[in-house]
A and B are shown apart, each in its own frame.
Chain A
Amino acid sequence: MSIVTENLVKEYSNGIRALKGVTLHLGSGTIGLLGPNGAGKSTLMRILATLLTPTDGFVQIFGLPLSNRTAIREMLGYLPQSFGFYPQLTVWETLQYFAHLKGVSRSRAAEMLELVGLQEKRRYRVNSLSGGMRQRLGIAVALLNDPRLLIVDEPTAGLDQEARIQFRRLLGNLPGERTVLISSHIADDIAQTCREVVVLSGGEVRFQGSPAELAAEAAGRVWEGEISPDDLPRLEETHTIMSSVRSDRHVLVRCIGPAAEGLSPLSPTVEDGYMALLQGRQSA
């Protein structure tokens, strides 16, 4: 197992309990961490990145306890949810700076620059980069030490569609054997890149399995059909509306819930499964 957590608890000094006994056993490959805002994803990732100390519980990364920070950090690449660089430095100087911090060579930095496709921008100051380029630079920094564990927190937040696709492709094509833990609240991103998904909500693990298994959580509960605009409020009371497209006389709706008149069943997606899971927990 790459990552093992047992009854992991994190309570902040202000009394907020971000994690309430998280137990996970994660293998290698790309793993997605899904959950709504405030679910505890970032807290879990910061603990795994040795930046936060858990209040209680047990964590082991590649067999090493969390207290062995230096050894873990040597194997770790971490890209936080929101990050910045020193605006006075260029792209190349930034990579070199982190190469020094991680104790790797300049040639490795050059490789990473090439990997993320920023060679042409090497002389540019980092504050002149677009959001997507900055994310790519961030992933280059995270990959500098060729980490066995790559933790990427909400990497596509704030990116446009093209940049999101580029970034997903970049993560999907990473060379070498490694465990990649990606967090997101966008199910589609996870579905596109991960072989395993963990859903976290309210500081607890709600689901752990493959994307297909997550999608199956909504099996038989996803519907689509045209209804009258007047019926839409009534449907909202009993179903979770995933989408609604209004035409002249009707509304084409896609929803999760029990069978209803005028609606046809659909094959669930990961997003449907994720929403069904959250909805089910809420109703429960």
Chain B
Amino acid sequence: MRAFWGIAMAELKLQWRSRTLWATLALALLYAVPRAPATYWKATITIAASVTSLASLGLALIWAGSARRPERCHTADLVESSAMPRSVRFSAEATGSCLGIVTVVLPVMGLALLYYRLKAGGGPGGLAQDLAVSGLLIVPPLLAWLGLSRLVGRLLPPAGAYVVVGLLWVAGVWAKAFLPVPPEWSLDYIPAERSDLILFGVHGVRLLVNRGILMGAGVLAILLSCFPEPPARRWVRTAAPALLGTLLLLALAALPGVRSVTAAVDVPLSAAEWAARARENERWRYEAAEAGEALVAQHNAAWAVPLVEVVDQVMELGGTAANTAALTVVEAPVSAPLYENGTYVIPERVFRRLAFRPQLTRRVIRLEMTRQLAPWMPFETDVKEGAADGVALYMEWCYLDELLGRDVALEEIAAWQTILQRMTSHQTYSMDGPPGPADGPSTDPRVMRDWLGEDEGDHFYAIKTALGLWQHCSLLPPEVLPALRDQWMGVIVSASRDRTVEDLLVQLLEAAP
């Protein structure tokens, strides 16, 4: 055992002293630092991406070379004539190489993280945790890749091994297989809402499974590389590493979430570049959901890309693709810029853009508002959806109708949300207990229901719409009221087909300031 660890430590030492390693690590940092991101976590992701992509080449060359280092250094006869079995020696060398990942990559990561922490005005506290997360993200895929490199180095002569490893690396970079840091790990994106936390957990589990598979693949490749004798047949020696490499890349690409995850970390790409890439890819063009997912991931990973730009790009995809992609955008689990002071704020331009597709808009807004209202509305889904439909109609109408002659400000939307919140509070009281204190004139749904009789299911939607319009009316300047009144009236009439509601609306509008 002592001999085993002695060889492992020697291997570790050899790895540490390799010029190739330090050259590539330096390159990786040189690549990452000029792109110095504004936030700590973005820095983490950038550095991790850089280290795992660029340094992976250097480490792979070292690993591929180490499999035949004795031959390369003309030490083979000296080494081979020792009593230690070859398989034991290979295992010890592989162990040392694995330790090398931890002792080489993680300190570099640690220093980089510390630098950014201090630069951001923070302290070293929590660095260990960040490092552990970074390690979890980086080490398994790196191990899989390096295990493959070692196997290639074991099976092929040095020059051939370097060429194959180089080609595999280029293919890996092209497939974004070396950028395995998902945006979901960014703490900035962990919202306070339970549903999103669950989603975060799901991502976490998926990620762990992904990393587990990669770790297993790496260990398997290393074990294979520890066999004393390479396969005798030349075609096996040539085909085996190529096959294993292809399988590994396919596995990486096929694992759920990995594609978007890997795409997400491609921070240096602008939204436009990303969209151009998406357009070039026929599959993405037709599988719009993936495009949307990727764009959202891009947005999430690159703080600098506003969501509206992403939506612009989605729209450029055209047709059904745009619809589906836009839905995906809005259905994205978490999107930090949509939160302000704990309130869900829908960027006005996003909805303006989405509003060019009315059917889509309604559905999108309903979904959004349903999610938004979920914590406030612990009652039946149909009621929630009804309320949301009201908002959807309102929103659609606002954005489609340029007759308004002005943009609808975010404050107005927020105000509408407040109204909805109040209304649903009343609804809750009406179903679960006594009504709360009066909160605004005639907004109590019980009153509306009384007026409408028992057929509340058909009319509830219209009532809520009316309430919303009424409230909105109170916020608008008096000079635009006549035009608005005509518009709203038309909408309400067409929506409810109920004169009672129309009467109610007229009554409400007349009561407005």
Contact = CB atoms under 8 A, between A and B. Distances in A.
A87 interface: yes
Nearest to B17: A88
B118 to A, nearest CB: 33
A51 B71 CA distance: 13
A80 B2 CA distance: 27
Contacts of B75: 83-86
A118 interface: no
Contact of A85 (B17, B73, B84): B73
A83 B77 contact: yes
Given A88-B13, A93-B13, A101 B77 contact: no
A97 interface: yes
B77 A89 contact: no
Interface stretch (B3-11, B450-458, B485-493): B3-11
Contact of B77 (A78, A85, A100, A102): A78
Interface residues of B, number: 23
B73 to A, nearest CB: 5
Given A93-B10, A96-B10, A97-B6, A49 B81 contact: yes
Given A88-B13, A88-B14, A89-B14, A100 B7 contact: yes
Contacts of A142: 78
Interface stretch (A68-76, A164-172, A209-217): A68-76
Contact of B73 (A46, A87, A93): A87
Given A84-B73, A86-B69, A88-B13, A74 B78 contact: no
B83 interface: yes
B81 A78 contact: yes
B78 A141 contact: yes
Contacts of A97: 6-7, 10
Contacts of A30: none
B34 interface: no
Contacts of B89: 101
A60 B74 CA distance: 27
B408 interface: no
A103 B3 CA distance: 6
A223 B6 CA distance: 59
Contacts of A243: none
A98 interface: yes
A169 to B, nearest CB: 23
B14 A80 contact: no
A5 interface: no
A36 to B, nearest CB: 22
Contacts of A76: 81
Contact of A100 (B3, B69, B74): B3
Nearest to B10: A97
* A-B pairs, 3 with minimum CB distance: A100-B6, A84-B74, A101-B82
Given A80-B78, A88-B17, 9 more contacts: A51-B81, A74-B83, A78-B78, A84-B75, A88-B13, A101-B7, A101-B79, A101-B89, A142-B78
18 contacts: A46-B77, A49-B81, A76-B81, A80-B78, A83-B74, A83-B77, A84-B74, A89-B14, A97-B7, A97-B10, A98-B78, A100-B6, A100-B7, A100-B84, A101-B79, A101-B89, A102-B82, A142-B78
Interface of B: 2-3, 6-7, 10, 13-14, 17-18, 69, 73-75, 77-85, 89
